[in-house]
Structure formats: structure tokens, C-alpha cells
Amino acid sequence: MNLYLVSQDSNTSYDTYTSLVVAARNGSEARNTKVERPFTTWVTPDKVKVALLGTAIRGTKPGVILDHYHSG
């Protein structure tokens, strides 16, 4: 399991995420991580950048570890 920074700069309005740190098996899985929060927007997977941060500790489950959200 790896840790990835998933970011976007296409949608910079309020009530949106600009970046996430996610645990995933690979970059494709990280790119397709779902953001689930009411009344928010995210971009389609083809508009995000994915960067490998490192290896997660044993037992880490796939999903969002940390998010950067712009409320409005």
C-alpha cells in the first residue's frame, strides 16, 4: 500500500477539494479515489495530478487519509 498526493487546480471555487492524501495500491487507484462529502465538488479523474509520497505502514486501509477543502 502506498501514499499518494492527489491534487487538482481546475476547480478553485468554494466548497471544493484541492488535494487529498490517499492510501492506494497504485496511481490509478489513487486517481479514482472517491471524495464523499455533501454539497462538494471534485474533478474527473483525468484532471487530477498524482504523486507518490511513499509507502504506508502495514495495516493501512485504502482511502482518503487527509484532505484540503475550501469551504464557502
Per-residue pLDDT tens over the stretch 15-27 = 788 899 999 999 9
What is the DSSP track for 12-57? -SSSEEEEEEEEESSHHHHHTPPP--TT-B---GGG-EEEEEEEPP
- For 27-60, how does the pLDDT look when each residue is reduced to its tens digit (9 = 90+)? 999 999 887 766 666 778 898 999 999 999 999 9
Q: What is the pTM of this model?
A: 0.88
Question: For residue 58, what are the CA distances in angstroms to 2, 48, 62?
Answer: 10, 27, 12
Other Cβ atoms less than 10 A from the Cβ of 14: the count is 10
For residue 12, the model assigns a pLDDT of 77
Give the side-chain half-sphere CA count within 13 A for 23. Answer: 11
For residue 70, the model assigns a pLDDT of 80
